[in-house]
Chain A
Amino acid sequence: MASEATLGSGRRNWLPSWLAGDTVQGIRRQRMVLGILFLLPTLIGLILFVLGPIVVAVAMGFMKWNVFRPPEFVALKNFARLFQHDLVGNSFSNTFVMMAMTVGMLEVFAIALALSVHRFARSRLAYFFRTVWFLPVLLSGVSVAVTLSYMFHTDFGVVNYYLGVLGIDKVPWLVSSDVVRLSVSLATVWRNLGFTFIIYLGGVSALPQEILEAATVDGARGLKRLWLITLPLLSPTILFATVIDVIRLLQFFDEPYVMTRGGPGDSSRTAVMMVYDTAFANLEFGYASSISVVLFLIILAVTGFQFLLSKRWVFYQ
């Protein structure tokens, strides 16, 4: 009777015979039925609230629509226009530059933080730092806008004030087209580091200590150990985090929107800001949709490429 109390209640056999778990086929059928049932809530929700609107948005990419008048089919005109539109090309290249800077800093800092805090894993100190680093993630866009625009102001900002104390000239953080992409990326790193860090913390906590210790005994220490042992062991997490961060940051919107509205000029204008302004300021919903479609295809390609590449560097135990 003891087995009844554990996992053996399947023996009660309340399942119909074609689902019985005592044949390989029955198990396969069980999995299929369960799989479909489990997916249903997500699928129904996605179809209604996500795929539905996406299909409409994609369809709009082939139309001209300003909300006031019925949509008008224009075939590929929107796409032809966007490939000649400098502003669109410029916003895509800004997006890539800022994405690369931001993801680069995010992954390096987040891994370093996760490895560092792991050294003090169970202490109150670690608890304190984990809370502190996560705080910016908890702030809303408005607060970040207020705070960071203030910090980075050329004449009134804190950053330049302290640089001035160190004898460094004022840096035009948000008004120089050379510097602004870096400033916005820094702000984004500030706000998102906690998010990426949490993901890495999970990965680092799960590192098999036996292997690490064995490596140390074998003489792998310091950077060598990090490079040859720790990072490869962490690679599945790195894949997940970079895929998610790249997807999120190719859709960069909040920070540049609130800090610069894409300026000065167009130097920090991102692809999604282009979508937003085209739709809601210029009332060209069709054209905006066509830009989203192109952005979507690019993100899809980049993600696919990351997975493809991951076969070469991601190490599964």
Chain B
Amino acid sequence: MNALSRREMIQASAATVAAVALPGSVALASAPSQDNITLRLQADPRDYQEVIDAYAGVAPNVTVEPVSVTGIDHAEVATKILASLAAGTPVDIGFAATEATQLYAGEGLAMGMKDRLLDQPDDLMEYFSDVSPVLVETDFYEGDLYQLPRDFNAANMWLNTKLVGEAGLEMPGEDWTKDDFNEYAKALTGLGPEGDSFGFAWNNGLWGGWLPWIFVNGSNLLSEERVGGGEWLWDTFYADDPNAAGRGGGFRWPEPQANNAANVEALEHVVALTRDGYAPSVERGFAENLSGFFAADKIGMYPGGGFFTGFLQDAGMEPGTYDAQFWPWWQSQRHQLGVGALWILIGGSEDAAWDFVKWHTGRDVMEMIGFFRVTRTTPARRSMCTAERFPNVSNWNIFYDTVDARPDTGPIPAPVFSIELTNIFTRYTEVAVSLEQSPQDTLDAMQRELEDLYARNA
């Protein structure tokens, strides 16, 4: 089934649904007129209005219409995208974080960019020279590229330096280890104005949960392998970049390995933090508040990426009382990351959409995007990661160094069924961190359910 007919199939599938209810009343959306094109862009107008206005000057016959698809988490956004697909009114240009990249590509909804990139390589030479190959590789699926990275966040460690000072410690160096971390967690507990701080806190999700510990312990939740077939890109755009060596055409996660020894060890590590009172109870509905407690000097260390800069500013945390560092070494210092980017829906407006997406990679365009102004996320362009972008963060350089200086950093596991994967992962994690089941038993059970998941999606 080729990609174009796949979209027709979706339309047909939605038509079937409507037809069950009201036979004969189905009308598919008519094709857009050729001279004036409207592109529906999945973006929050607050962030994108300036970009859209600027594009009106670049391409007067194209109207870009922002479609706000906001949600607290990835599942909420996906719900909405699915509903719009079912109704036959999807966007022309979507946004996907790593969690959804393979879903849209794998279902044949997204346009592969290989042919167009090879057609006009010069147009994007400057862009790729400014973007780490680590980020680009995550947007591959089975040898084709589906997205051009816009922003990313790796899980680094934020430290409350006021508490660090109170404990008589210095900010840790880049090469600090898991054992150093444990010392910090201990030392930063029981401090602060009320003497009730916790050394470390984290919330239970796929990105930034306890997955970073799995990564630095040299493991992954699912087995990970590189697909071949990306040479066309690496040879064209990254011929001189040593960090591009050995990269392929995307990641694949052939089977679950939740209960391997390294993962059990990683889970035991975080469970011990809660059990010994260095980390607060891990509760789902509370997740958004934790960062606030960090700002209020009640938490010593907290996982976060460059996006946390904007938060801490908004939260009114005093400059000079916080800083960031790499995630500590264990077996490795491989960070886990998520990348966000636009993708193009197959459906007739690909040419116009491609023009927009290509234009949108320009540095001057990206500078117009609202969420880079207050640094609510980390830009994928190296040249945009500057001290000014991360005010009051002395170690601001580590955000981009996470991919430049630690090029083994890789994406969170995100196969086509990533939403269900996340649910299984977080559900079992809860049982272990509430100390109701041993890490080994928990991960054995998680593994069984992941195997079922794989069998169902085979």
Contacts and interface: CB of A to CB of B under 8 A. Distances in A.
B82 to A, nearest CB: 5
Given A52-B21, A56-B21, A176-B434, A67 B10 contact: yes
Nearest to A142: B72
B104 to A, nearest CB: 10
B430 A175 contact: yes
Contact size class for B?
Answer: 35 or more
A265 B431 contact: yes
A245 to B, nearest CB: 24
A69 B85 CA distance: 11
Interface in B1-60: 6, 9-10, 12-14, 16-17, 20-22
A154 B275 CA distance: 13
Interface in B183-212: 198
A154 B285 contact: no
Interface in A45-89: 52-53, 55-56, 59-60, 65, 67-71
Given A71-B17, A174-B283, A282 B82 contact: no
B281 A155 contact: yes
B82 A280 contact: yes
A257 B281 CA distance: 18
Closest 5 CB pairs of A and B: A149-B285, A154-B281, A264-B430, A155-B280, A70-B13
A261 B284 contact: yes
B75 interface: yes
Given A56-B20, A266-B427, A67 B86 contact: yes
Contacts of A60: 17
Interface string B109-145: 1000000000000000000000000000000000000
Nearest to B298: A156
Interface stretch (B250-258, B314-322, B324-332, B416-424): B416-424
A148 interface: yes
Contacts of A146: 288
24 contacts: A67-B10, A67-B14, A68-B108, A68-B109, A71-B13, A149-B286, A153-B283, A154-B281, A155-B281, A172-B434, A175-B434, A176-B434, A177-B436, A261-B285, A261-B426, A262-B427, A263-B427, A266-B427, A280-B419, A281-B78, A281-B419, A281-B422, A282-B417, A282-B419
A66 to B, nearest CB: 8
Contact of A150 (B289, B423, B436): B289
Interface in A257-277: 258-266, 277
B352 interface: no
A283 interface: yes
B396 interface: no
B431 A70 contact: no
A71 B12 CA distance: 10
Given A264-B436, A265-B427, A283 B82 contact: yes
B79 interface: yes
Contacts of B75: 280-281
Interface string A137-160: 000000001101110011110000
B421 to A, nearest CB: 10
B359 interface: no
A175 B283 contact: yes
Contacts of A68: 6, 9-10, 13, 85, 107-109
Contacts of A56: 17, 20-21
Interface string B59-97: 000000000000000010011001001100000000000
A89 to B, nearest CB: 15
Interface in A163-179: 172, 174-177
B281 A153 contact: yes
Nearest to A269: B427
A67 B198 contact: no
Q: Tell me which of A52, A155, A174 has the highest count of chain B C-beta atoms within 10 A of its own C-beta.
A: A155
B264 interface: no
Interface string B417-458: 101101100111011011010000000000000000000000
Contacts of B16: 70-71
A155 B196 CA distance: 10
B430 A153 contact: no
Given A177-B434, A281-B420, A67 B82 contact: yes
B282 interface: yes
Contact of B9 (A59, A69, A150, A263): A69
B21 A148 contact: no
Nearest to A51: B21
Contacts of B82: 67, 280, 283
A280 B434 contact: no
A280 B420 CA distance: 9
Nearest to A148: B285
B422 to A, nearest CB: 8
Nearest to B85: A67
A67 B104 CA distance: 12
Contacts of B281: 153-155, 172, 175
B238 interface: no
Given A281-B420, A281-B423, A263 B13 contact: no
B79 to A, nearest CB: 4
B297 to A, nearest CB: 13
B293 interface: yes
Given A153-B286, A262-B427, A65 B280 contact: no
